[in-house]
A and B are shown apart, each in its own frame.
Chain A
Amino acid sequence: MTTESYMKSTYRYGNASCILALIFFLMLPVAICAHLNVSPDWSNVLKGLGSIAIIFYPTAVIEVVAYAPLLGAGGTYLCFVSGNITNLKMPCALNAMENSDVDSNSEEGELIKTIAIGTSAITTTIVIALFVLAFSLNPSFSEVFSDTSPLAPAFDQLTYTIFGAIAATYFVKHWKISIFPIAAVSLLLVFAGTIEIGVLIFVGVVFSLIGAQIMYKLKLV
């Protein structure tokens, strides 16, 4: 098998699984309506959808364009079907890339990212299922993870603990091109502190690419 034929079949299986996932996910509300013998109030569906689509549809377009080159083909298919990309699958892929020390744009990079993201999706599904089972069987278990639990602050800051560790490895290797995007994003947040994370990532990536391109042209990296 050549790289080309492997990638060709990845796209074929990936597209098929994406379309199958779309059908499965759309069947969820259909099945709920059939089971409960109700029809949704379509005007309320449109009203609710309108208020979230205005934020999440443009974000979805940005995410597909910005994340796909970072996740690789196999990783993209798995990520967008299993969800929780920025807070879990993306850092997991970065972690695996760092450990295996392969070029992100090579076939090796594509494979390592697919293995990492797939493993993450399976692990996450099992952990969530176990927790849901525990919550259902013993509701008091949920108190351990409630807002008033001593552990709650750690989970509030979870994202920062993930990206702190990743930042350490990337910044050691690429500190010259790291300073500008962090400073630019932090400054932007001073003036527009509530930017949605999907948009902020896009802005961060654009800042970072511009900074790196300038440094590359000036032969500073």
Chain B
Amino acid sequence: MFSDFKSDGFMLCIALLIIGFVVCQSLFFVIRAIKRAKQIGITNTQIKSSITSSAMFSIAPAIGIAMTVLVLSVALGNILPWIRLSVLGSITYEVPAAEAAIEASGLTTGISSAITDPTVFATTAWVMTLGSILPLILIPLFLKKIQSKVSGAAKKNSKWTETMSAAAFIGLIAAFLGRGISGLGEAEVLESGEIVNVSIGDGAGVLSLTAIVSSVVYMVIFVMINKKLNFKWLEAIAMPLSMILAMLTVVMVSNFFPDFAAIEWRY
């Protein structure tokens, strides 16, 4: 199962230790928050609903993250990408970081072929770690100051704070929707000067819009059902369910109408 130096028993022990730490930290904070929530009158139903909904919501994105482990495992084995993507890391960071580290060691193959030199592997591990630890230095230094400014503003004018808080979340959502509407995908310029799309699905196009629109539609349907029939159980799972149904819609469009699905207006 774990044969080479990238995936041996030692690496497995490190992985279990580090990932175990992250799980313990999460458990500790969750248990504290639940105890406090009960003290201030948040109902058991609200707490259970948050836990169920968050767990369900996380499954599909977690599979997406596991797929990134797969992408990186060709070069780095299973264990290092597993550690990196279970703690601190992100899909958008790990791949470019690994590429940069491997190429800095003089290997032009990047993440597409296995690293056999332990020095290159160690160098890659250092680069991936050092490139991502900055928030862990900034947060203990500045988080309290940032939070006290926010709660200070919240106390002064609650209506204004509510509007601005919603606006901040909407700004975040707008960034992702904007990318689906007009974000640029990867392209290649041929010798003839023609620009060709080299990767279907990374730029704004039929698939990105299908994902957004279908997800919105499913969610609106569930909200309407909820309003009419007052299904409490549906309220908690409406968002993860909309997400999964939208993913199925994307699969159907791309498999039944491949030419239509390949249309991208931004590459």
Contacts and interface: CB of A to CB of B under 8 A. Distances in A.
A104 B238 CA distance: 20
Residues of A in contact with B, size category: 35 or more
A140 interface: no
Contacts of B170: 170-171, 174, 177-178, 181, 208, 212
B101 interface: yes
A172 B223 contact: yes
A149 B213 CA distance: 23
Interface string B123-151: 11111011111111111101110110011
Given A95-B54, A105-B165, A185-B175, A168 B242 contact: yes
B162 A193 contact: no
B140 A19 contact: yes
Contacts of B204: 189
A91 B215 CA distance: 14
B69 interface: yes
Interface in A1-43: 1, 6, 10-11, 13-15, 17-22, 24-26, 28-29, 31-33, 35-41
Given A40-B123, A155-B67, A204-B175, A21 B25 contact: yes
A63 B119 CA distance: 32
A124 B177 contact: no
A161 B171 contact: no
Given A105-B150, A173-B166, A84 B61 contact: yes
Interface residues of B, number: 160
| Main DSSP-derived SS at the A contact region | helix
A68 to B, nearest CB: 5
| Main DSSP-derived SS at the B contact region | helix
Given A84-B85, A98-B239, A208-B168, A111 B26 contact: no
A82 B57 contact: no
Contacts of A150: 251, 254-255
B136 A125 contact: no
B18 A155 contact: no
B165 to A, nearest CB: 5
Contacts of B248: 154
B75 interface: no
A198 to B, nearest CB: 8
B104 interface: yes
Given A11-B144, A84-B90, 16 more contacts: A18-B136, A35-B10, A48-B127, A52-B96, A77-B25, A94-B169, A108-B42, A131-B69, A151-B251, A153-B261, A160-B180, A163-B177, A167-B212, A182-B178, A185-B174, A198-B92
Closest 3 CB pairs of A and B: A193-B184, A164-B215, A208-B171
28 contacts: A14-B139, A17-B28, A25-B133, A28-B125, A35-B10, A39-B122, A48-B102, A53-B131, A77-B139, A83-B88, A86-B90, A96-B54, A99-B49, A116-B51, A116-B53, A118-B29, A122-B30, A124-B65, A125-B86, A151-B251, A153-B207, A163-B215, A167-B173, A168-B219, A185-B177, A205-B167, A212-B163, A213-B164
